A and B are shown apart, each in its own frame.
Chain A
Amino acid sequence: MKIKKTIIYFLLAVWALIVLFPFYWMVLSSIKSYASYAGEKIPKFFTTSPTLENYRSAFTAVPLARYFSNTLIFTLATTALMVIIIIFAAYAFARIDFKGRNLLFLGFLALMMIPNELVIITNFVTITDLGLRNSFTGLILPSVTSVFYIYLLKENFEQVPDELYYAAKVDGTSDLKYLFKVMVPICRPTIITVIILKVIECWNSYVWPRLITDDPAFYLVSNGIQELRENGLGRDNIPAMMAAVVAVSVPLIILFLIFRKKIMEGVSREGIKG
């Protein structure tokens, strides 16, 4: 029994090491000076003279700050728009009895199966034709709705007892006010989960921004990193590159550590839907 437990812990620890090691390595490399890094014929697992110099060069040699603020704008705008749109849509499906509702909802569910890769081609053409390449509008528009999140929120809205709606009517509330003063606050946990998941998705998005922007003024962090690697800091300034990588990774890791429970719950809900 004892032995079995020890083996289990050992194996879990091995996997934890594999997961954590790349993070350790990027932080470690980012605080080695360029000279000492380049001089290491055999990589060292620690450094005796840590430096923040690489962070300075990462932010000055390429417009990393710019990529950050672009990503922030993109993430906030996309998430905010999406949340409003899905709240309205989920409310309509959950609470309003209009003609064609069930059929329409079925259609929505069917859209959940459509992979992004299939529609991205036309979207690329559409956005290009509209002259929206290299603009935030072009970046944001295609991702401000999510059928899955509408579905998730609709399920949650439906759990709010009907009586509350009736009570609000008798209390003299309009539909819109009921939605934002009663439904939304009650379903706040789900909405927060959706927001966090969307933020993660936006922060990491790469393919669409890559297709739609070629002006570095509109690059997001993923594209920035890619750019950096191809022709940014010179192929071999690894420490500065790693400083950029750390800077890009840290915000999400902090977000994750704060909302660990919500994120993991939300993601496992995504699994349950299947």
Chain B
Amino acid sequence: MSKKTLSGVNGVATNISGWLYLLPALLFLIAFMVYPLIDVFIYSFEEGYNSASQTSFGTGGYNYAYILRDPYFLKTVKNTFILVIITVPISTGLALLISLGLNSIRALKRLFQTIFFLPYVTNTLAVGLVFMILFRKTPYTDGLVNMIIGKFGISPVDFIDGPYWAKMLVLSVYVIWIVMPFKILILTSALASVPDVYYQSARIDGTSSWRVFWRITLPMISPMIVYLIITGFIGAFKAYSDAVAIFGVDLNAAGMNTIVGYVYDMLYGDGGGYPSYASAAAIVLFAIVLTITVINLIVSRKATDIT
């Protein structure tokens, strides 16, 4: 409350030194966050900006109109949405199950927690290669996954170069594998912080464990679940390196490009050099993310009001 500040020691000097201590951070943030943030909007409204000659013909919504008509962009939007819709619910639900399991055991708990966290500290590109190899079908071998599903009588599929849904499946599996550690960690600590007294009193009342879950555990950790769903949406909408890891840099050829991938392709690489299109695409992406986040918040508010 009555926190003492140090102004008493020397008013003017502390003013200057305060800004001085902040100076490096401020400079970097202004140069690489604030300015770019403004700039990206400007770019997105400059028609035909050319990064080589640094000229544009005028301002307007042209860039937006262009990307919204670009079949490649529309394809990335479709891919991204499908990926989000598959991975967010599955990963969140699975993480909840696993956390509940973890929370109810004692022996080996730490070992499991350590193992489950491993994907968090791995290089996305490196491990993606392993997934690629596990799922790949080549003229020489059908690959491990095909061998396993073959045991169930399913004929081999090329998951990397084959049908769309097979590719989407691999990508989803990999994305889920990558995002699980964070979700498990957050949910286990949320579950662990539910005070024991609630469970004890429920036991005294003879409540069934199913009811305990729905009436006590879930409401208590629901803020964290909402948080995970929202960050999960944001993260999945920004998926990119996972896709590169599995299908290689030329995602358009694989038909697996994501919105973020489109942004980078427009910016740099074979089709690159169009920062205006890239900016417009980035802003469209964040308009989508923002909308979904707001909807999420409203829905979760409603849901908690009902329970």
Q: Would A and B touch once assembled, by the CB under 8 A criterion?
A: yes
| Supplied contacts A96-B18, A271-B189, 17 more A-B pairs, CB within 8 Å | A22-B130, A22-B134, A42-B141, A96-B6, A114-B37, A115-B289, A118-B40, A118-B282, A121-B282, A123-B32, A145-B32, A226-B244, A229-B248, A248-B126, A256-B118, A260-B114, A271-B186
**Which chain A residue lies CB-closest to B7?**
A97
Q: Which of B62-70, B76-84, B211-219, B262-270 contacts A (4 or more CB under 8 A)?
A: B262-270
A81→B18 CA distance, assembly (Å): 19
A241→B157 CA distance, assembly (Å): 23
Interface flags, A209-231, vs B, CB<8A=1, else 0: 01100000000011001100110
A122→B44 CA distance, assembly (Å): 11
- B17 within 8 Å of A (CB atoms): yes
Q: Judging by beta carbons under 8 Å apart, are A88 and B24 in contact?
A: yes
Interface flags, A122-148, vs B, CB<8A=1, else 0: 111110100000000000011011010
Which of A263, A264, A271 has the most chain B CB atoms inside 10 A of its CB?
A271
A207→B245 CA distance, assembly (Å): 12
Q: If the complex has contacts A12-B102, A111-B29, A222-B123, are A91 and B286 also in contact, measured as CB distance less than 8 A?
A: no
Q: List chain B residues, Cβ under 8 A from A249.
A: 122-123, 126-127
A40→B98 CA distance, assembly (Å): 35
Q: What are 21 A-B contacts defined by CB distance under 8 Å?
A: A8-B104, A9-B105, A12-B102, A15-B98, A16-B116, A97-B6, A101-B18, A108-B29, A117-B286, A119-B36, A122-B40, A200-B121, A204-B123, A241-B129, A242-B129, A242-B133, A245-B129, A248-B126, A253-B118, A274-B227, A274-B231
Q: Please, how many residues of chain A have a CB less than 8 angstroms from a CB on the other chain?
A: 93
Q: Which of A23-31, A47-55, A186-194 contacts B (4 or more CB under 8 A)?
A: A23-31
Q: Judging by beta carbons under 8 Å apart, are A8 and B116 in contact?
A: no
Q: Judging by beta carbons under 8 Å apart, are A268 and B105 in contact?
A: no
- B296 within 8 Å of A (CB atoms): no
A222→B249 CA distance, assembly (Å): 12
The one of B35, B97, B121 in contact with A256, judged by C-beta atoms closer than 8 angstroms, is B121
- A5 within 8 Å of B (CB atoms): yes
Q: Which of B163-171, B194-202, B233-241 contacts A (4 or more CB under 8 A)?
A: B233-241
A203→B123 CA distance, assembly (Å): 8
Q: Could you tell me the distance in whole angstroms from the C-beta of A1 to the nearest C-beta in chain B?
A: 11
Q: Please, how many residues of chain B have a CB less than 8 angstroms from a CB on the other chain?
A: 97
Q: Judging by beta carbons under 8 Å apart, are B130 and A121 in contact?
A: no
Q: Judging by beta carbons under 8 Å apart, are B123 and A22 in contact?
A: no
> What DSSP secondary structure best describes chain A's contact surface?
helix
Q: List chain A residues, Cβ under 8 A from B143.
A: 43
Q: List chain B residues, Cβ under 8 A from A108.
A: 29
Q: Judging by beta carbons under 8 Å apart, are A121 and B248 in contact?
A: no
**Which chain A residue lies CB-closest to B286?**
A118
**Which chain B residue lies CB-closest to A11?**
B101
- B255 within 8 Å of A (CB atoms): no
Q: Judging by beta carbons under 8 Å apart, are A20 and B182 in contact?
A: no
Interface on A for B, CB 8 Å cutoff? Answer: 5, 8-9, 11-12, 15-16, 18-20, 22-23, 25-26, 29, 38, 40-43, 84-86, 88-89, 91-93, 95-99, 101, 104, 108, 111, 114-115, 117-126, 128, 141-142, 144-145, 147, 150, 162, 165, 169, 175, 200, 203-204, 206-207, 210-211, 221-222, 225-226, 229-230, 236, 238, 241-242, 244-245, 248-249, 252-253, 255-257, 260, 263-264, 267-268, 271, 274
- B207 within 8 Å of A (CB atoms): no
Q: Judging by beta carbons under 8 Å apart, are A42 and B29 in contact?
A: no
A24→B218 CA distance, assembly (Å): 36
A123→B186 CA distance, assembly (Å): 32
Q: Could you tell me the distance in whole angstroms from the C-beta of A255 to the nearest C-beta in chain B?
A: 7
**Which chain A residue lies CB-closest to B16?**
A98
Q: Judging by beta carbons under 8 Å apart, are A97 and B131 in contact?
A: no
A229→B278 CA distance, assembly (Å): 26
A253→B114 CA distance, assembly (Å): 11
Q: List chain B residues, Cβ under 8 A from A263.
A: 117, 121
Q: If the complex has contacts A43-B143, A142-B32, are A204 and B124 also in contact, measured as CB distance less than 8 A?
A: yes
A11→B102 CA distance, assembly (Å): 10
Q: Judging by beta carbons under 8 Å apart, are A18 and B133 in contact?
A: no
Q: Judging by beta carbons under 8 Å apart, are B118 and A23 in contact?
A: yes
A244→B207 CA distance, assembly (Å): 54
Q: List chain A residues, Cβ under 8 A from B189.
A: 268, 271
- B31 within 8 Å of A (CB atoms): yes
Closest A-B pairs by Cβ, 6 of them: A98-B18, A122-B36, A97-B5, A119-B36, A92-B21, A89-B25
Q: List chain A residues, Cβ under 8 A from B119.
A: 19
Q: Judging by beta carbons under 8 Å apart, are A85 and B267 in contact?
A: no
A169→B6 CA distance, assembly (Å): 11
Q: Judging by beta carbons under 8 Å apart, are B22 and A162 in contact?
A: no
Q: Judging by beta carbons under 8 Å apart, are B267 and A211 in contact?
A: yes
A108→B275 CA distance, assembly (Å): 26
Q: If the complex has contacts A15-B98, A271-B185, are A222 and B37 also in contact, measured as CB distance less than 8 A?
A: no
Q: List chain A residues, Cβ under 8 A from B154.
A: none
Q: Judging by beta carbons under 8 Å apart, are B43 and A226 in contact?
A: no
A40→B69 CA distance, assembly (Å): 47
Q: Could you tell me the distance in whole angstroms from the C-beta of B287 to the nearest C-beta in chain A?
A: 11
A114→B112 CA distance, assembly (Å): 34
